[in-house]
Structure 1
Amino acid sequence: MFAVFTRARQFVLAAALGCATLPAAQAQLPLDARLNEQIIMVPAGPTLNVQLETTLYKPAGPGPFPLLIINHGKSPGDPKAQSRDRFVYMAAQFVKRGYAVMVPMRTGFAHSTGTYTDYGCNMKANGYQQAGDIADVIAYARSLNWIDGERIVIAGQSYGGLASVALSTQELPGVRGVMNFAGGLKVHGGSCDWQQALVNAFAEYGRKNRIETLWMYGANDSYFGPQLVSRLHEAFHGNGGRVDLVAYGAFKHDAHTMLGSRDGQPIWLPEVERFLQRIGMPTEQVYAVAEPVPQAPTNYAALDDVAAVPFLPERGRQQYRAFLSKQTPRAFAVSSSGAWGWAEEGESVNERALAACQSASRQPCRLYTVDDYVVWSDTPDPVNNTATGRTE
């Protein structure tokens, strides 16, 4: 069995006077009321006996709504330990445009039931296996009276992108397009040529392609670089696959994280809108979605004044110095117990930093820094700077 890791990475750290770390997967995040976020269980599998933990976002009202299904990648280790993916940034843009959005965790991931199946370097089989769950979610969604079953679009990131491209080989009623963001699967360890296996899989998917696809890959993707992407595109398109490849430049430290980053939206949104228009899907904003309430900067101290951060032991001050080199979005939280926690990149960094700190403290944690400014005050804001924080 080969180990795999192709999921967009997020970083979170917790510590106290010699304490431990909290993986991002363990941070319990609040549901986003702006997007009517819910968690539902969707039946899947050959006998529909598997239940897929699925994040649902939808506009207010009865619908029927066009549908976007977003498919996740894979974290290292046990898929059961993987956190529920949310893709809040993409979901918000689609809800504004009147879409319902589903983000299913596939078989064996997070709180979905069943057992994850890994076919190692058989990339064709890996893609088809994961695509089966997506097809089941589509069938379930089309049975709902508030979903417009004739206007569906599919997106996938990393392993979810590979699965989405594999799905494009099927004739699926109502599915008008597939979007692949940094799609693929990288095998770590073993002796197989996983890159050639990916090329072979994409060649077959191209021969069997039935649905229009959009691909987006960045120049500094740490998993699938430009040379490999060129081979994947040539294999897919050269065998008849319908594809629009957008090869954009470098994104931060790793383009593989672009879709899950707050700062990725200016890259993907214009290309997605053009694709949606071409396949006859809505692009006009028809619903208002409130922007998250930002943390207010204070005049407590300069950002780089390490000595001013309260409560921290020397090890915590060393961590704060390291935190100042991290990329935004980012947040740093502290507690009177001497605990601290920080989070970098991805979604809900405020909550992840607070949860990381709180895992190491019996006393409430509060945000000290958000992005490039200090938000700490000697008199805490009971709404904006408590141990529970706000949605990023």
Structure 2
Amino acid sequence: MRRFGCAIALLGLLLLPASADTALPGFVRQDRLIPVSLNDGSEVKLETMIVRPDRPGRFPLVLLVHGTNPAAGQAFRAAAARQSPADLLNAAVAFAQHGYAVASIMRRGFGRSEGRFAESLSEPCDDRDYLAVGRIAAEDVTGAVVMLRGEPWVESDQVLLMGHSTGGFAVTAAAAGNPAGVVGVLNFEGAHGSVPGHTCSPDHLVADAGIFGRTARIPALWVYSENDCSAPPALGRRMFDAYVASGASAQLQVLPPFGVDGHAMVSMGPADIWWPAVESFLNQLRLPTSVLVELPPRASIPAPMPLNVACTDYFDAYVKAWTDAKAYAWNREGHCSSVTTRTVEEAKSEALRQCVAAWKECSLYAVGQGLAPG
């Protein structure tokens, strides 16, 4: 009866407007609002992007959980609302290629998800309460797992949690509750409280990782980049050591530098950078690692000239993003803005907005798989 009731509830999933993505042949891509029950008995709908092989059958589920835009003050709310499940599209496609159904969720207060933003950090920088916000974020993660396990295309007892940045902290908090069906956790550059030049209350993060580790019994892989400016690997190692010292089962991988800031490794970098570490972990869990769906070669787009160092990295990531819903804005001084989001029109508008806000004079250089018209 419980499974029947869950199936009935899933019929209430709301579809968001979406267009076919020709860059992903062989896959189903859907945008949804997923109803999630919270601990206080209330319900919110979380914006979710689903990418899965376009074929019958059930697949292991990967739940992707995003990080937090670094904007501060009043600008934060607007920046959070502009975040999209497609921020982790490259990771979603990498797993879907290997035979997984992937759901990228937005937590409360982010993107188009319902509910007020519940992860506020009002304490001073030297006394941040990360434990509370981690547990709040974990509610969204656990609630999404409960709903998605009932989908007819999901292997309900083969669920992976993968979080990036504050999302890595969120999935680590969720793992402390050992949610049903979850067999592994991927914590990419998990941390919190990054401000320019340092991390607020790092000792609290270390202590909280130890608290989560007291009850977590799900195998985990923690991955950091050597040149991460927001989640330095030294801090990641301290958190990891506290986590496993408390009894949790986990492995740590520190990968070589990526671009100008390794914190963008998952969102901007090709999956080839981190997939070998993940593949080894999946093999240990006896989960799929072979390619199930081949993708065509990416379109060849010439880079604009000149480009600064960061924008060279952004353009490379732009070309490699598996979607039509992307845009690259640029100016002749070599500055840029690159956006991957829900729709082509949204990508064009947001890329131009970001570029003009920072550099005044900008134009669209590329849209989707080719150069911008005109």
Q: Same fold (TM over 0.5)?
A: yes
Please give the alpha-carbon distance, in whole angstroms, between the structure 1 residues aligned to 2:238 and 2:230.
Answer: 14
Correspondence for 1:32 among 11, 21, 39: 21
Q: Write the letter of the residue equivalent to 2:29.
A: E
Q: Can you list the C-alpha shifts for 1:333-355, whole angstroms capped at 9, x where unaligned?
A: 579xx9x983259789x988854
Cα pair 1:83 1:110 within 8 Å, conserved: yes
Correspondence for 1:243 among 239, 250, 259: 250
Correspondence for 1:276 among 277, 282, 286: 282
Q: Secondary structure at the match of 2:224?
A: strand
Q: Secondary structure at the match of 2:260?
A: coil
Report what 2:296 is aligned to: 290
Q: Are 1:143 and 2:150 matched, yes or no?
A: yes
Correspondence for 2:185 among 168, 174, 178: 178
Please give the alpha-carbon distance, in whole angstroms, between the structure 2 residues aligned to 1:347 and 1:294.
Answer: 20
Cα deviation for residue 292 of structure 1 reads: 3.3
Q: Write the letter of the residue equivalent to 2:295.
A: V
| Residues 284 and 341 of structure 1: CA distance in aligned 2, closer, same or farther (over 3 Å) | same
Please give the alpha-carbon distance, in whole angstroms, between the structure 2 residues aligned to 1:29 and 1:175.
Answer: 29
Correspondence for 1:212 among 207, 219, 225: 219
Report what 1:4 is aligned to: none
| Residues 54 and 346 of structure 1: CA distance in aligned 2, closer, same or farther (over 3 Å) | closer
Cα pair 1:68 1:100 within 8 Å, conserved: yes
Q: Secondary structure at the match of 1:328?
A: helix
Q: Write the letter of the residue equivalent to 2:85.
A: D
Please give the alpha-carbon distance, in whole angstroms, between the structure 2 residues aligned to 1:100 and 1:174.
Answer: 14
Cα pair 2:311 2:336 within 8 Å, conserved: no
Structure 1 gap segments, 5+ residues each: 1-27, 305-320, 371-382
Cα pair 1:29 1:352 within 8 Å, conserved: no
Please give the alpha-carbon distance, in whole angstroms, between the structure 1 residues aligned to 2:200 and 2:329.
Answer: 44
Q: Are 1:58 and 2:56 matched, yes or no?
A: no
| Residues 54 and 97 of structure 1: CA distance in aligned 2, closer, same or farther (over 3 Å) | same
Cα pair 1:262 1:346 within 8 Å, conserved: no
Question: 153-162 or 119-128, which moves further after superposition?
Answer: 119-128
Report what 1:117 is aligned to: 118
Cα deviation for residue 82 of structure 1 reads: 3.1
Please give the alpha-carbon distance, in whole angstroms, between the structure 1 residues aligned to 2:224 and 2:330.
Answer: 37
Cα pair 2:213 2:242 within 8 Å, conserved: yes
Q: Secondary structure at the match of 1:139?
A: helix
Q: Write the letter of the residue equivalent to 2:283.
A: Q
Q: Write the letter of the residue equivalent to 1:41.
A: L
Please give the alpha-carbon distance, in whole angstroms, between the structure 2 residues aligned to 1:354 and 1:44.
Answer: 31
Cα pair 1:67 1:148 within 8 Å, conserved: yes
Report what 2:311 is aligned to: 326
Cα deviation for residue 240 of structure 1 reads: 1.0
User: Larger Rg: 1 or 2?
Assistant: 1
Structure 2 gap segments, 5+ residues each: 1-16, 122-127, 319-327, 357-362
Correspondence for 2:272 among 242, 266, 269: 266
Q: Secondary structure at the match of 1:130?
A: helix
| Residues 291 and 89 of structure 1: CA distance in aligned 2, closer, same or farther (over 3 Å) | farther
Q: How does 1:215-230 map to 2 (within 5 A)?
A: 215-230=222-237
Cα deviation for residue 226 of structure 1 reads: 3.0
Q: Are 1:106 and 2:91 matched, yes or no?
A: no
Report what 1:164 is aligned to: 171
Please give the alpha-carbon distance, in whole angstroms, between the structure 1 residues aligned to 2:134 and 2:295.
Answer: 34
Cα deviation for residue 90 of structure 1 reads: 1.3
Q: Are 1:45 and 2:34 matched, yes or no?
A: no
Cα pair 1:329 1:346 within 8 Å, conserved: no
Report what 1:90 is aligned to: 91
Q: Can you list the C-alpha shifts for 1:61-80, whole angstroms capped at 9, x where unaligned?
A: 23211111110011120165
Please give the alpha-carbon distance, in whole angstroms, between the structure 1 residues aligned to 2:58 and 2:192.
Answer: 35
| Residues 80 and 260 of structure 1: CA distance in aligned 2, closer, same or farther (over 3 Å) | closer
Correspondence for 1:131 among 123, 129, 138: 138
Correspondence for 2:260 among 253, 256, 261: 253
Please give the alpha-carbon distance, in whole angstroms, between the structure 2 residues aligned to 1:352 and 1:341.
Answer: 20
Q: Can you list the C-alpha shifts for 1:30-74, whole angstroms capped at 9, x where unaligned?
A: 763414221101111323520001011111123211111110011
Cα pair 1:342 1:356 within 8 Å, conserved: no
Which is helix-richer, 1 or 2?
A: 2
Cα deviation for residue 322 of structure 1 reads: 5.7
Cα pair 2:259 2:313 within 8 Å, conserved: no
Q: Count residues with an aligned counterpart.
A: 317
Q: Can you list the C-alpha shifts for 1:106-158, whole angstroms capped at 9, x where unaligned?
A: 11111101011135221111111101111111111111122110111110000
Q: Which has the higher contact order (CA 8 A, sep 6+)?
A: 1
Q: Write the letter of the residue equivalent to 2:98.
A: R
Please give the alpha-carbon distance, in whole angstroms, between the structure 2 residues aligned to 1:353 and 1:119.
Answer: 28
Please give the alpha-carbon distance, in whole angstroms, between the structure 2 residues aligned to 1:105 and 1:182.
Answer: 18
Correspondence for 1:385 among 367, 371, 374: 371
Cα pair 2:365 2:371 within 8 Å, conserved: yes
